[in-house]
């Protein structure tokens, strides 16, 4: 098998056994990137030089079996700071920002022997569901180059799906790991809020943002999570909950007999794309045949999730993005003599349209006259949504839902209609509001459109091993997806 098709686990194994060198791994991926990037435009920067240099140094030293990701190339979403590598958030505002420090996620990846091979495209400041809000390029879905890869981590998901890397890192504020993973036919894990440090994750909605792995298998996701999870004194919201050995735990997970999987009726009775509906029903049968018990539940506040999410996330975004004023950092407009004009012009020119829309709406919901009616009310409803989930877990192990009501849509199809785009987050954002972990994974290709269909498992806080353990069993029973059609020439 070509090196670039291997899993992260097999890459490390192969290097330890002496089957190939780190340098060969990096070269294989760089070549693959060169071949596929013209088609999908998933990356903003390819770190060829540094990656090759690091590989040579690692080969000189020899493999270190203690390092969990020794020699594994990783693509990182361009919202996570990387020392000496430009970090743009796909925004003109940060077009020339070269951080002098690594985000905690990147630091931990590097310490475990991973190689940062590229930075991936995204919606500007992670705002969007299609990656079309990038100031720099439009990423295409590897399954159909006329469609979006999802967003905002569309570059990361497309890159993993196209075998440009075994593992990429995305971030998820309202669905941005899970939805693009579903659109591209790969596995996306959004950890519990606080499981992974947000230090160096350029803030969008601070009470919602979490970074997590996008992989092609449950095991790779477990391995990467065990590297990036854990308390970080630099992020006071990171949790000191001990980090288990996820890989060992999911290996110990015996079978699905007696596992209770809940199907929320508000999600499954929603109008779903026919392919998603049909594939999901087949999947229910598979789960039952493996011994799982499927129960119906109600999450009554589901209908408020999108409105609540967008009020809270825009409020937080408007506050977080206030720092880009052209003085302390970011783009500065030319030829303005007066301070206020300089702020206004820098922000008008530096931010794209969607980001400006959100700053305006966020400022509005936080303003003195409207705070109680919008922000405060949303904060209250947020608690009700979380309570729905937590009480559901009294009677089940995991909840199973669709990731998105729609399949990957065509490029430009929804960009003029932001409300439609927001509404499609209905199944993903409730989980972020509740701080819960979720795992999105492919269950096959739709019959009509031949596009990947993904569903997600949701677990109680800090129960990532349950999500991964169940999926690891199911994965073996699902037909593996073929080579993404957009890449077969
Ligand atoms: N689509 C959602 C939004 O635009 C989610 C984005 C995300 O998770 N970063 O806010």
Contact 324, 291 (CB under 8 A): no
* Residues in Cβ contact with 350 at an 8 Å cutoff, skipping those fewer than 6 apart: 91, 92, 93, 324, 326, 330, 331, 333
C-alpha 433 to ligand 1 mean position (Å): 12
The predicted pLDDT at position 345 comes to 97
Task: Give dist(CA 368, CA 234) in Å, integer.
Answer: 32
The predicted pLDDT at position 135 comes to 98
The predicted pLDDT at position 252 comes to 87
What pairing do the DSSP bridges indicate for beta strands 438-445 and 452-458? antiparallel
Q: Domain 3-254+438-487 adopts which CATH fold?
A: Amidase signature (AS) enzymes (3.90.1300)
Ligand 1 pocket by C-beta < 6 Å: which residues?
126-129, 152, 172-176, 204, 313, 425
Three-state DSSP class for residue 372: helix
Q: Is 152 a catalytic residue?
A: yes
User: Within its chain, how far is the Cα of 100 from the centroid?
Assistant: 24
* Residue in 112, 156, 168, 176 annotated catalytic: 176
Which alpha helices (DSSP H) does 367-453 contain, by range?
377-392, 418-423, 429-434
Residue in 214, 279, 285 with CA at minimum distance from that of residue 256: 285
Q: Is 107 a catalytic residue?
A: no
Q: How many CB atoms lie within 10 A of CB 421?
A: 20
Q: How far is CA 371 from CA 174, 236, 310, 378, in A?
A: 22, 26, 14, 10
The predicted pLDDT at position 442 comes to 98
C-alpha 152 to ligand 1 mean position (Å): 6
Structure tokens at 333: 């407009």
* Residue in 91, 120, 134, 152 annotated catalytic: 152
Q: DSSP character for 293?
A: E
* Residues in Cβ contact with 342 at an 8 Å cutoff, skipping those fewer than 6 apart: 326, 327, 332, 333, 336
Along the 489 residues of the chain, how does pLDDT read in single tens digits? 899 999 999 999 999 999 999 999 999 999 999 999 999 999 999 999 999 999 999 999 999 999 999 999 999 999 999 999 999 999 999 999 999 999 999 999 999 999 999 999 999 999 999 999 999 999 999 999 999 999 999 999 999 999 999 999 999 999 999 999 999 999 999 999 999 999 999 999 999 999 999 999 999 999 999 999 999 999 999 999 999 999 999 998 889 999 999 999 999 999 999 999 999 999 999 999 999 999 999 999 999 999 999 999 999 999 999 999 999 888 999 999 999 999 999 999 999 999 999 999 999 999 999 999 999 999 999 999 999 999 999 999 999 999 999 999 999 999 999 999 999 999 999 999 999 999 999 999 999 999 999 999 999 999 999 999 999 999 999 999 999 999 997
Task: Give dist(CA 171, CA 169) in Å, integer.
Answer: 7
Nearest CA to ligand 1 atom 5: 174
The predicted pLDDT at position 77 comes to 99
Task: Give dist(CA 185, CA 401) in Å, integer.
Answer: 16
Q: The dihedral of CA 280, 283, 285, 291: what is its sign?
A: negative
Q: Is 176 a catalytic residue?
A: yes
* Residues in Cβ contact with 306 at an 8 Å cutoff, skipping those fewer than 6 apart: 422, 423, 425, 426, 429
Three-state DSSP class for residue 402: strand
Structure tokens at 36: 């596929």
Which atom of ligand 1 lies at the shortest distance from residue 424's CA? 1
What pairing do the DSSP bridges indicate for beta strands 43-46 and 73-77? unpaired
Task: Give dist(CA 458, CA 397) in Å, integer.
Answer: 9
C-alpha 176 to ligand 1 mean position (Å): 5
Which alpha helices (DSSP H) does 186-304 contain, by range?
218-228, 246-252, 265-268, 274-289
Q: How far is CA 1 from CA 4, 14, 19, 69, 166, in A?
A: 8, 12, 12, 20, 14
Q: How far is CA 92 from CA 46, 87, 326, in A?
A: 19, 11, 12
ω into 152 cis (within 30 of 0):
yes
Structure tokens at 223: 């391995």
Nearest CA to ligand 1 atom 10: 127
Q: Ligand 1 pocket test: which of 120, 149, 174, 427 has the largest number of ligand atoms within 8 Å of its C-beta?
A: 174
Task: Give dist(CA 150, CA 152) in Å, integer.
Answer: 7
C-alpha 183 to ligand 1 mean position (Å): 14
Specify which residues 401 forms β-bridges with: 456
């Amino acid at each position: 098998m070509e090196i670039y098709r291997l899993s992260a686990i097999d890459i490390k194994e192969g290097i330890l056994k002496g089957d190939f060198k780190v340098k060969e791994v990096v070269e294989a991926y760089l070549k693959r990137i060169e071949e596929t990037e013209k088609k999908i435009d998933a990356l903003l920067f390819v770190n060829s030089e540094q990656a090759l240099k690091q590989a040579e140094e690692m080969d000189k030293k020899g493999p270190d079996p203690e390092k969990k990701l020794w020699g594994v190339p990783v693509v990182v979403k361009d919202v996570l700071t990387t020392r000496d590598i430009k970090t743009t958030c796909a925004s003109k505002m940060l077009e020339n920002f070269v951080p002098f420090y690594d985000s905690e996620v990147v630091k931990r990846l590097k310490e475990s022997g991973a190689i940062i091979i590229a930075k991936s495209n995204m919606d500007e400041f992670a705002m969007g569901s299609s990656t079309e809000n990038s100031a720099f390029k439009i990423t295409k879905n590897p399954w159909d180059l006329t469609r979006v890869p999802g967003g905002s981590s569309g570059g990361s998901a497309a890159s993993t799906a196209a075998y440009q890397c075994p593992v990429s890192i995305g971030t998820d504020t309202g669905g941005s790991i899970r939805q693009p993973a579903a659109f591209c036919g790969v596995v996306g894990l959004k950890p519990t809020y606080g499981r992974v440090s947000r230090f160096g994750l350029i803030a969008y909605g601070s009470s919602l943002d979490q970074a997590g792995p996008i992989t092609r298998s449950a095991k790779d996701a477990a391995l990467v999570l065990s590297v990036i999870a854990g308390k970080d004194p630099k992020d006071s919201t990171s949790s000191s909950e001990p980090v288990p050995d996820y890989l060992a735990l999911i290996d110990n997970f015996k079978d699905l007999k007696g596992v209770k999987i809940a199907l929320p009726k508000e999600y499954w009775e929603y109008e779903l794309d026919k392919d998603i509906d049909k594939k999901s029903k087949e999947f229910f049968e598979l789960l039952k045949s493996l011994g799982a018990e499927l129960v119906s539940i109600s999450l009554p506040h589901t209908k408020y999730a999108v409105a609540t999410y967008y009020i809270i996330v825009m409020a937080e975004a408007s506050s977080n993005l206030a720092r880009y004023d052209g003085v302390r950092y970011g783009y500065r407009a030319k030829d303005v003599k007066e301070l206020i004009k300089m702020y206004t012009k820098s922000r008008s020119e530096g931010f794209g349209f969607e980001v400006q829309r959100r700053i305006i709406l966020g400022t509005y919901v936080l303003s003195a006259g409207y705070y109680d009616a919008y922000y405060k009310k949303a904060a209250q409803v947020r608690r009700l949504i979380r309570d729905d989930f937590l009480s559901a877990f009294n009677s089940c192990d995991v909840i199973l839902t669709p990731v998105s009501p729609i399949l990957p849509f065509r490029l430009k199809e929804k960009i003029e209609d932001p409300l439609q785009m927001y509404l499609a987050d209905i199944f993903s954002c409730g989980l972020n509001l509740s701080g819960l972990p979720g795992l999105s994974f492919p269950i096959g290709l739709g019959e009509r459109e031949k596009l990947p269909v993904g569903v997600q498992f949701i677990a109680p806080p800090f129960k990532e091993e349950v999500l991964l353990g169940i999926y690891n069993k199911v994965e073996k029973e699902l037909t593996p997806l073929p080579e993404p059609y957009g890449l077969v020439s």
